[in-house]
Amino acid sequence: MSPASEATAGEALAAAREAGIHRIAVPTPFAVGRVNAYLIEDDPLTLVDSGPNSGRSLDELEQGLRALGREIEELGLIVISHQHMDHLGLVSILASRSGAEVAAIDVAVPFIENYAEAAAADDDFASQIMVRHGIPADVMHALRSVSQAFRAWGAAATVTRPLADGERLELRDRSLEVHFRPGHSPTDTVFFDADRRQLLAADHLLKDISSNPLISRPAGGEDRAQSLAVYLESLRRTREMEVDLVLPGHGEPITDHRALIDSRLELHRRRADKLRRLIAERPRTAHELAQALWGDIAVTQAFLTLSEVLGHTDLLLNDGLVRELEHDGVVHFEAVA
Ligand SMILES: [Zn+2]
Question: How many angstroms is it from 53 CA to the middle of ligand 1?
Answer: 15
Question: How many angstroms is it from 45 CA to the middle of ligand 1?
Answer: 24
Nearby residues for ligand 1 (ion, Cβ within 5 Å): 84, 203
What is the reported pLDDT for 7? 58
Counting Cβ atoms within 10 Å, is residue 54 exposed (0-12), middle (13-18) or buried (19+)? middle
pTM: 0.94
CA dist 198 and 248 (Å) reads 11
pLDDT digits over 201-253, tens only? 999 999 988 877 888 887 665 677 899 999 999 999 999 999 999 999 999 99
Question: How many angstroms is it from 203 CA to the middle of ligand 1?
Answer: 5
Q: Give me the percent of the chain exceeding a pLDDT of 70.
A: 97
- DSSP track, 163-182: E-TT-EEE-SS-EEEEEE--
Question: How many angstroms is it from 153 CA to the middle of ligand 1?
Answer: 13
Question: How many angstroms is it from 185 CA to the middle of ligand 1?
Answer: 7
Question: How many angstroms is it from 277 CA to the middle of ligand 1?
Answer: 31
Question: How many angstroms is it from 186 CA to the middle of ligand 1?
Answer: 10
What is the reported pLDDT for 191? 98
What Rg, from alpha-carbon coordinates, does the chain have?
20
Question: How many angstroms is it from 308 CA to the middle of ligand 1?
Answer: 15
- Return the ∠ at Cα 161 (arms to 155 and 165), rounded to 5°: 100
Contact 323/333 with Cβ under 8 angstroms?
yes
Average pLDDT over residues 116-122: 93
